[in-house]
Amino acid sequence: MQKSPKRNNNSRVSGIKLNSVDAEKAKKESQNNFVELLPPEVTFKIFSQLDMQSLCRASITCRSWNYTVRNSDSLWKPHCLTLRAVCQREVDNDLKSGYSWRVILRRNYQKSKVKHEWLSGRYSNICSPLSLPE
Protein backbone atom coordinates (compact mmCIF):
# COMPACT_ATOMS: atom_id res chain seq x y z
CA MET A 1 0.00 0.00 0.00
CA GLN A 2 1.33 3.36 -1.02
CA LYS A 3 1.20 6.25 1.32
CA SER A 4 -0.34 9.31 -0.16
CA PRO A 5 1.46 12.54 0.58
CA LYS A 6 -0.22 14.64 3.16
CA ARG A 7 -1.65 17.87 1.97
CA ASN A 8 -0.62 20.79 4.00
CA ASN A 9 -3.57 23.17 3.95
CA ASN A 10 -1.68 25.69 6.05
CA SER A 11 0.88 26.35 3.32
CA ARG A 12 -1.84 27.07 0.81
CA VAL A 13 -3.63 29.40 3.22
CA SER A 14 -0.42 31.16 4.22
CA GLY A 15 0.45 31.59 0.53
CA ILE A 16 -2.90 33.25 -0.04
CA LYS A 17 -2.36 35.46 2.99
CA LEU A 18 1.10 36.50 1.76
CA ASN A 19 -0.24 37.30 -1.69
CA SER A 20 -3.05 39.40 -0.25
CA VAL A 21 -0.62 41.19 2.10
CA ASP A 22 1.71 41.94 -0.82
CA ALA A 23 -1.18 43.17 -2.94
CA GLU A 24 -2.46 45.35 -0.12
CA LYS A 25 1.02 46.78 0.48
CA ALA A 26 1.42 47.60 -3.22
CA LYS A 27 -2.01 49.21 -3.28
CA LYS A 28 -1.18 51.32 -0.23
CA GLU A 29 2.14 52.45 -1.75
CA SER A 30 0.46 53.46 -5.00
CA GLN A 31 -2.18 55.42 -3.07
CA ASN A 32 0.50 57.27 -1.11
CA ASN A 33 2.52 58.23 -4.17
CA PHE A 34 0.14 60.38 -6.16
CA VAL A 35 3.07 62.03 -7.94
CA GLU A 36 3.50 58.99 -10.15
CA LEU A 37 -0.23 58.63 -10.79
CA LEU A 38 -1.25 62.20 -11.63
CA PRO A 39 -0.35 64.19 -14.72
CA PRO A 40 2.71 66.42 -14.18
CA GLU A 41 0.62 69.60 -14.45
CA VAL A 42 -1.63 68.52 -11.58
CA THR A 43 1.33 67.46 -9.45
CA PHE A 44 2.98 70.83 -10.09
CA LYS A 45 -0.20 72.67 -9.10
CA ILE A 46 -0.38 70.74 -5.82
CA PHE A 47 3.28 71.33 -4.97
CA SER A 48 3.03 75.01 -5.91
CA GLN A 49 0.47 75.50 -3.14
CA LEU A 50 3.01 74.47 -0.47
CA ASP A 51 4.95 76.92 1.64
CA MET A 52 8.73 76.72 1.63
CA GLN A 53 9.02 74.47 4.68
CA SER A 54 6.38 72.05 3.38
CA LEU A 55 8.05 71.96 -0.03
CA CYS A 56 11.36 71.03 1.60
CA ARG A 57 9.66 68.35 3.65
CA ALA A 58 7.93 66.99 0.57
CA SER A 59 11.30 66.70 -1.16
CA ILE A 60 12.54 64.27 1.50
CA THR A 61 9.40 62.12 1.49
CA CYS A 62 10.50 59.72 -1.25
CA ARG A 63 12.69 59.63 -4.34
CA SER A 64 9.98 60.47 -6.83
CA TRP A 65 8.84 63.48 -4.81
CA ASN A 66 12.45 64.60 -4.41
CA TYR A 67 12.98 64.31 -8.15
CA THR A 68 9.82 66.29 -8.85
CA VAL A 69 10.60 69.08 -6.38
CA ARG A 70 14.30 69.37 -7.29
CA ASN A 71 13.62 69.48 -11.03
CA SER A 72 10.71 71.93 -10.93
CA ASP A 73 12.65 75.14 -10.61
CA SER A 74 9.56 77.32 -10.96
CA LEU A 75 8.24 75.90 -7.66
CA TRP A 76 10.97 77.87 -5.91
CA LYS A 77 10.48 81.18 -7.76
CA PRO A 78 7.68 82.62 -5.56
CA HIS A 79 9.70 81.84 -2.44
CA CYS A 80 12.76 83.59 -3.93
CA LEU A 81 10.70 86.63 -4.76
CA THR A 82 9.67 86.95 -1.11
CA LEU A 83 13.38 86.86 -0.19
CA ARG A 84 14.05 89.55 -2.75
CA ALA A 85 12.16 92.05 -0.61
CA VAL A 86 15.00 91.82 1.92
CA CYS A 87 17.96 90.65 -0.19
CA GLN A 88 17.32 92.37 -3.52
CA ARG A 89 20.97 92.90 -4.42
CA GLU A 90 21.98 89.30 -3.65
CA VAL A 91 19.03 87.74 -5.48
CA ASP A 92 19.52 89.98 -8.52
CA ASN A 93 23.25 89.18 -8.66
CA ASP A 94 22.54 85.46 -8.45
CA LEU A 95 19.95 85.76 -11.23
CA LYS A 96 22.50 87.54 -13.43
CA SER A 97 25.01 84.77 -12.65
CA GLY A 98 22.54 82.21 -13.98
CA TYR A 99 21.70 80.36 -10.77
CA SER A 100 18.42 78.46 -10.60
CA TRP A 101 15.63 79.67 -8.31
CA ARG A 102 16.24 76.77 -5.97
CA VAL A 103 19.96 77.53 -5.68
CA ILE A 104 19.26 81.24 -5.19
CA LEU A 105 16.92 80.39 -2.36
CA ARG A 106 19.49 78.12 -0.73
CA ARG A 107 22.23 80.74 -1.09
CA ASN A 108 20.22 83.62 0.33
CA TYR A 109 17.71 82.20 2.80
CA GLN A 110 19.89 82.59 5.89
CA LYS A 111 21.01 86.07 4.83
CA SER A 112 17.40 87.15 4.44
CA LYS A 113 16.56 85.96 7.96
CA VAL A 114 19.50 87.88 9.44
CA LYS A 115 18.68 91.01 7.42
CA HIS A 116 15.03 90.81 8.37
CA GLU A 117 15.96 90.66 12.06
CA TRP A 118 18.39 93.54 11.58
CA LEU A 119 15.68 95.64 9.92
CA SER A 120 13.43 94.80 12.88
CA GLY A 121 16.06 96.24 15.24
CA ARG A 122 17.36 93.01 16.71
CA TYR A 123 21.04 93.75 16.00
CA SER A 124 21.72 97.23 17.33
CA ASN A 125 25.51 97.08 16.91
CA ILE A 126 25.35 96.70 13.11
CA CYS A 127 25.14 100.00 11.27
CA SER A 128 24.42 98.90 7.70
CA PRO A 129 23.42 95.80 5.74
CA LEU A 130 26.93 95.64 4.30
CA SER A 131 28.37 94.84 7.73
CA LEU A 132 26.00 91.91 8.26
CA PRO A 133 27.65 88.48 8.47
CA GLU A 134 27.81 86.47 5.24
Q: Which of 81, 79, 80, 83 is nearest to 114 (CA)?
A: 83
What are the mean pLDDT values of the chain's consecutive 10-residue runs (134 residues total)?
Answer: 56 56 64 76 91 91 89 90 85 92 87 74 66 61
SS3 assignment, position 115:
helix
pLDDT at 43: 87
Angle value at C-alpha 79, between 75 and 81, nearest 5 degrees: 115
Domains of the chain: residue spans and CATH? 33-73 (1.20.1280), 76-134 (no CATH)
pTM: 0.59
Q: Which of 91, 115, 89, 114 is nearest to 104 (CA)?
A: 91
